[in-house]
Amino acid sequence: MAAIRTPEADRLAAELAKRLGDKPLTARELAAQLVATDSPAELLDAFDDALARAADIEEQPLDEALWGPAPTAQALAQARRVKQRAQDEALVGVLAEALSRAQAAAVLGISPQAVSKRHAGGALVALSRGRELYFPAWQFADGAALPGLADVIAAYPGSPLALSTWAVTSNADLDRATPAQMLARRGGVERVLEAIEAISAAAW
């Protein structure tokens, strides 16, 4: 792809050539040479001009004939309010049945410190409220954490709140069972991970 010449790019090229010569350089060599210079104002100004030009290009409006009209400020504000309200409602629902660290320790038969260690290691999901951690109830069954929980936590592409909401929602890819229910079944871990992979693929 041919480079597009602009006055800003020409000025930056001239400043670089003045200090570094006109020989080919790898990115690492270029970085080393730039660090070795005294960073004169002219070079910094040239970089600023080039970056400003790039920012202007990136901020050009989208073609409305292709993408449709841009949302108004009012529509964006309303969308943010709707999103925030949905998050608040989801958080209230998850926290209503969540366990404190001491309660989680009692369920698992371990110390509160061990619960914290499992959470830090990615083996338990927790939501923080102030300085306290609360552990959503869906991840526990029969006095233990659900099978494959650490793998699910690592694979899920969203936040702990999003995971906790998804985990208790009926899923068409899991025969209408919730992911939490499926994790407790034979072969369920693999199916839940496949469902997460489908979510991740759809995001791209």
39 found inside a domain: yes
Angle among Cα 103, 105, 106 to the nearest 5 degrees reads: 65
Residue 105 and residue 187 in one domain: yes
Number of domains in the chain: 2
Q: Are residues 170 and 129 in the same domain?
A: yes
Do 30 and 111 belong to one domain? Answer: no
- Judged on CB neighbours under 10 Å (0-12, 13-18, 19+), 53 is middle
Q: Helix, strand or coil for residue 139? A: helix
Whether residue 44 sits in one domain with residue 124:
no
Distances (CA, A) of 32 to 14, 20, 37: 18, 11, 9
Q: Is the pLDDT of residue 16 over 90?
A: no
Location of structure tokens 């951690």:
133
Does some domain include residue 96?
Answer: yes
Question: At residue 188, does pLDDT exceed 70?
Answer: yes
64 occurs within a structural domain: no
Domain membership of residue 65 (yes or no) is no
119 and 25 in a common domain: no
What pLDDT is stored for residue 108 in this prediction? Answer: 97
Whether residues 50 and 107 fall in one domain: no
Given a cut of 70, whether residue 117 has pLDDT beyond it is: yes
What pLDDT shows up at residue 42? Answer: 54
SS3 of residue 128 by DSSP: strand
- Whether residue 70 lies inside any domain: the answer is no
Q: Which of 197, 170, 12, 168 is nearest to 96 (CA)?
A: 168
Same domain membership, residue 47 and residue 116: no
Is 60 inside any structural domain? no
Indicate if 126 and 171 belong to the same structural domain.
yes
User: CA 31: distance to chain centroid?
Assistant: 29
Are both 94 and 14 inside the same structural domain?
A: no
Q: What is the residue-averaged pLDDT of the chain?
A: 81
Query: Which of 86-100, 106-120, 157-171 shows the lowest mean pLDDT across its residues?
Result: 86-100
Average pLDDT over residues 21-41: 59
Write down the pLDDT at residue 80. Answer: 87
| Same-domain status, 42 and 116 | no
- 51 with 109, same domain: the answer is no
pLDDT confidence of residue 66: 73
Q: Assess if residue 69 is contained within a domain.
A: no
In a domain, 152, yes or no: yes
pLDDT above 70 coverage of the chain, percent: 68
Domain that holds residue 196: 88-202
Per 3-state DSSP, the chain is made up of helix, strand and coil in percentages (nearest 5) of: 65, 5, 30
Is the pLDDT at 35 greater than 80? The verdict is no
Q: Which pLDDT score, from 0 to 100, does residue 140 have?
A: 97
Q: Is the pLDDT confidence value at 94 over 70?
A: yes
Residue 1 confidence (pLDDT) above 50: no
pLDDT band at 34 (very low <50, low <70, confident <90, very high): low
Q: Say what the pTM is.
A: 0.61
Same domain, 196 and 96: yes
Q: Which residue has the higher pLDDT, 61 or 178?
A: 178
